[in-house]
Structure 1
Amino acid sequence: MSDRLPGFSTLAVHAGAQPDPTTGARATPIYQTTSFVFNDADHAASLFGLQSFGNIYTRIGNPTNAVLEERVAALEGGTAALAVASGHAAQVVVMQQLLQPGDEFIAARKLYGGSINQFSHSFKSFGWNVVWADPDDIASFERAVTPRTKAIFIESIANPGGSITDIEAVSTVARKAGVPLIVDNTLASPYLIRPIDHGADIVVHSLTKFLGGHGNSIGGVIVDAGTFDWSKDNRYPMLSEPRPEYHGIKLHETFGNFAFAIACRVLGLRDLGPALSPFNAFLILTGIETLPLRMQRHCDNAKAIAEFLSGHPAVSSVSYAGLSSDKYNQLARKYSPKGAGAVFTFSLKGGYDAGVSLVSNLKLFSHLANVGDTRSLVIHPASTTHSQLDDAAKVKSGAGPDVVRLSIGIEDKEDLIADLEQALSA
């Protein structure tokens, strides 16, 4: 039995964790401290010089956070991970290692509205330029590649519409272009999809969502697949060239298949500073222990509710890949056979006004800007999360004026259906 590879549920409970060596505490303690004592001057120098691993300052690393990082890396099948303050922070730290001013990255047009805004506007301050591609047209990714392209970014299950992206097909484009594929796996979680198994080089999550799962903590994580050759053509100088702040160390040469995670920590997190609170890391770790149980219930409930809505006279269409009639059903069967996730959209015949009315009349569903909670959530994207986009862009991103997004929780599905029925009737 000692040679047996642990299963997913076992990893969700145990990966990265050991009883505390001092107290014997079984649950990972919250190391609520800013700093850590060095053994002596030589020990301190070796830590600051990246000659040994250890704790220096919680902005850079913390023992509670380290357990979270190791657990998510194990669940995703990566070599290492870095936890940060939010999913948005994860995206900034990743791109800082890859892009120089004037560089480009290609992103799927079907993304979380906050990511569209971050990529279109905030990243311009760094001189990073996004080029949009259509995940339903893989050739559009190829057409978007230029000599300035440094990465491709997609979501495994797209927010808000729940469409499934053909990860392997986009990975083929990335390989041909010689750039890493970054996959936001927030809506799927590694329980449903492991993007690294399908060609992803970097995986990011908003830990706030399904991994934490209880709507009580904000966090993000970056997972290094250990699959990309950062030194091949010197296109990624942050990893391939000598780092003056570390006495000329070349990160990829020194750290090999977990060099990207190291770069994100010692160049990104250290200097940009989006550190995750150890308390939030503790809460997210606790949430991950029940991830497989929760995700299966989320998916089972979501499919039942999507089936109910697809037959309702007030509903014009339902976008849920778990339905056999959905255009993404074959991709869902390939990439996510245990379920198509818990977030999906549907369109109302009454348009914008009907969407606003529905969210106002629901009682059990909570109207708020989040997904991945144990509670069922609802939002009208056109008036909230995607409101900064023009009407054409809203439609392209799956957030048209008649669209409502649901994040299905783990309540009894009969109660959720009853709540939707009364609100649609109202």
Structure 2
Amino acid sequence: MTDRLPGFNTLAIHAGAAPDKSTGARATPIYQTASFVFDDVDHAASLFGLQAFGNIYSRITNPTNAVLEERIAALEGGTAAVAVASGHAAEFLTMNALMQPGDEFIAADKLYGGSINQFNHAYKNFGWNVVWADTDDPSSFERAITPRTRAIFCESIANPGGVITDIAALSAIAKRHNIPLVVDNTMATPYLIRPFEHGADIVVHSATKFLGGHGNSIGGLVVDGGTFNWAGDDRYPALSQPRPEYAGMVLSETFGNFAFAIAIRVLGLRDLGPALAPFNAFLILNGIETLPLRMQRHCDNALAIATHLSRHAAVDWVSYPGLESDRYHGLARRYAPLGSGAVFTLGLKGGYEAGVKLVSNLQLFSHLANIGDTRSLVIHPASTTHRQLTDPQKISAGAGPEVVRLSIGLEDPADLIEDLDAALSA
């Protein structure tokens, strides 16, 4: 092939992968092993000292996982990636590399409920403090910056409301203050939005969702954009200061534009341990091969169903940026021209009780706490995923009492509409 970068569809199938050298197997093998044999003592020493790349122990590196890491880095346009046990693990290891006790990060207020809970409560155990800003008002992020701010965090498409975030506006603020912008790209996937192209520095994923795409495996990913200069910045000692466990090595000096990914691996995975199982990496890799096809069908189906529900007598409102009437439609056309994703919310005129009844009456839609499956899914966030939040927090996160979240799958849209109509009538 020429030096031309392959297209997205080609990368989704081939990036990071090659026929197995020892067996000729075309599919990436599952290297279901805990550890790896060293060539000799010197080889072992070079691996442990970060003087050479290779496999030591599957908590830190694994050949199956490495293919997944190379593939998502290629699809996102990053310099390197690290596969971890879950999306929550990806967020946690990212903050572990950025934060010290007493530090702060600014988070958009429209986020997945589990992230809100993690940021508000679990992170306090580490002395990490979240400051909330208004997703719809980029200036609120700038007003929240203090000398202790170490990152800005947002979702490209927010869960559950399908809100499109103005990534470029947040990036401009982050760059003015020389702090990294972290974007959770789970809902969009790189098929719809590539945050690095809009100024992000780090991308995280719950690979459990659309990347894997079949609801059969848990996984997370951290992607290094290679765009932030960590060298000499005392605010980020994990990257800019000598590491005593590696004979005084400074990761930013040694590894340059993929130093953040190295920090996630050798300081995060090594010591905290949320490793991705090779079998799950294999399943997620298989899912990514059909990502472009699935995401387009997801988006097409979602637009058809959101349009139908926006006209239904039992529905008060629909929040889906693909609708021309939606307040985020302009941002959707700018950031996600191929489609606005598969997940959206609607508000029922009957409020909380109507939401509970709807999820109980649907037949094709599965009532469960996940998104991004081939199957269509439904949940009432106020009674489930966002239950732990206060009422004002629920409303701020787009999960008020009347809200139902739909994750539209790959079924025939006419069948999904018939199921929804029957359940709403009931």
1:149-298 to structure 2, matched below 5 A, reads 149-298=149-298
Q: TM-score, normalised by structure 2?
A: 1.00
Q: Is residue 324 of structure 1 aligned with residue 324 of structure 2?
A: yes
SS in 1 for 2:216: coil
- Cα shift readout 1:236-277 (whole Å, capped 9, x = no counterpart): 110010000000100000000000000000000000000000
Task: Write the letter of the residue equivalent to 1:363.
Answer: Q
In structure 2, how many angstroms separate the alpha carbons of the residues matched to 1:153 and 1:320?
Answer: 22
Q: Is residue 50 of structure 1 aligned with residue 50 of structure 2?
A: yes
In structure 1, how many angstroms separate the alpha carbons of the residues matched to 2:18 and 2:413?
Answer: 37
Determine the structure 2 residue equivalent to 1:73: 73
Total equivalences in the alignment: 426
List runs of 5+ in structure 1 lacking aligned partners: none
SS in 2 for 1:375: coil
In structure 2, how many angstroms separate the alpha carbons of the residues matched to 1:224 and 1:421?
Answer: 44
In structure 2, how many angstroms separate the alpha carbons of the residues matched to 1:238 and 1:294?
Answer: 38
Deviation at 1:5, TM superposition (A): 1.4
Determine the structure 2 residue equivalent to 1:372: 372
Q: Is residue 20 of structure 1 aligned with residue 17 of structure 2?
A: no
Contact 2:364 2:419 in 1 (8 A): yes
Residue identity (%) = 77
Task: Write the letter of the residue equivalent to 1:423.
Answer: A
SS in 2 for 1:211: coil
In structure 2, how many angstroms separate the alpha carbons of the residues matched to 1:111 and 1:242?
Answer: 35
In structure 1, how many angstroms separate the alpha carbons of the residues matched to 2:99 and 2:390?
Answer: 28
SS in 2 for 1:311: coil
- Cα shift readout 1:400-419 (whole Å, capped 9, x = no counterpart): 00000000000000000000
Deviation at 1:232, TM superposition (A): 4.5
- Cα shift readout 1:271-303 (whole Å, capped 9, x = no counterpart): 000000000000000000000000000000000
Determine the structure 1 residue equivalent to 2:415: 415
Task: Write the letter of the residue equivalent to 1:41.
Answer: V
SS in 1 for 2:401: coil
In structure 1, how many angstroms separate the alpha carbons of the residues matched to 2:232 and 2:305?
Answer: 49
Q: Is residue 64 of structure 1 aligned with residue 64 of structure 2?
A: yes
In structure 1, how many angstroms separate the alpha carbons of the residues matched to 2:189 and 2:38?
Answer: 37
Determine the structure 2 residue equivalent to 1:133: 133
List runs of 5+ in structure 2 lacking aligned partners: none
Determine the structure 1 residue equivalent to 2:30: 30
SS in 2 for 1:5: coil
Task: Write the letter of the residue equivalent to 2:291.
Answer: L
In structure 1, how many angstroms separate the alpha carbons of the residues matched to 2:374 and 2:214?
Answer: 6
Deviation at 1:312, TM superposition (A): 0.1
SS in 2 for 1:282: helix
Deviation at 1:3, TM superposition (A): 2.2
SS in 1 for 2:96: helix
Task: Write the letter of the residue equivalent to 1:290.
Answer: T
- Cα shift readout 1:123-147 (whole Å, capped 9, x = no counterpart): 0000000000001011110111000
Determine the structure 2 residue equivalent to 1:310: 310
- Cα shift readout 1:312-335 (whole Å, capped 9, x = no counterpart): 000000000000000000000000
In structure 2, how many angstroms separate the alpha carbons of the residues matched to 1:421 and 1:109?
Answer: 32
In structure 2, how many angstroms separate the alpha carbons of the residues matched to 1:225 and 1:232?
Answer: 19
RMSD over aligned CA atoms reads 0.5
Contact 2:322 2:329 in 1 (8 A): yes
Deviation at 1:357, TM superposition (A): 0.2
Task: Write the letter of the residue equivalent to 2:263.
Answer: A
Contact 2:20 2:26 in 1 (8 A): yes
Contact 2:232 2:241 in 1 (8 A): no
Q: TM-score, normalised by structure 1?
A: 1.00
Determine the structure 2 residue equivalent to 1:111: 111
